Amino acid sequence: MNTTNMDKQNSHLDLENEQVQTILALYINHNEVPYISPKRDLNAWLNQVEIGSESLVPKRNTVRLDDDLLPGHIILLWRINFGTFTNQSVFPKYFEYDYGINAKQALEEVQAKGYARQFTAMESLTHLNAARLKTLLKRKNVAGLSKLKKAELMEKAKDRFTEEELSALFKLRGFELTESGKLLLEKYDDIVDKHPKKKY
């Protein structure tokens, strides 16, 4: 067991707690102790594991890849690559329960490693709906907006606002993979192939 990574992801855990000790014992043969949210009801989860209605994170998902990432990081890159992921997206439960990662922390890690990047406010206009774009443009007293399509509204916003102005007006930001991130995703396509799919 890699205690260093246990501390990194689970520094909030009380190692003297009996439930925590039980969890550590369950994962004694895993490479790393999977992330456990401080919001998780440990007692309820342990009971569900005991009766078989909950499963442990598979051992294969706690094995570090050559790039010092876990399979869960690859699934996060896969999710980002759909083009709909933003800083307001809800992280699915499977990141914690199936892959054993803190998805919020993992998002910071893949950016720090250069596999993904956050959009600027200007680039994030694509994630705003037409109504929100019209509201922004009205701040600039732009007329004739009612018949404009979203793409046209975006162009007007880009013409009339600076990045600094937009940054102060909305906090929504998109993400995209870098070329390195796309190559990494291709490298580990077998991990994605094993992941249950749904449309995003």
pLDDT surpassing 50 at residue 35: yes
The pLDDT tens digits of the residues spanning 172-189 come to 999 999 999 999 999 999
- For residues 106 and 95, the answer to whether their CB atoms sit within 8 Å is yes
Asked if pLDDT for residue 135 goes beyond 90, the answer is yes
| Residue (of 37, 46, 55, 43) closest to 96 by Cα position | 37
Task: Give the pLDDT band of residue 10 (cuts 50, 70, 90).
Answer: confident
Quote the CA–CA distance of 66 and 59 in Å, as a whole number. 16
177 — phi, psi (to 5°)? -80, 145
pLDDT of residue 22: 93
Q: How far is CA 78 from its chain centroid?
A: 10
Half-sphere exposure of 150 (CA within 13 A, CB side): 8
At the second CATH level, the architecture of 3-119+175-194 is Orthogonal Bundle (1.10)
C-alpha distances (whole Å) from 19 to each of 62, 104, 148, 152, 156 are: 21, 24, 58, 56, 57
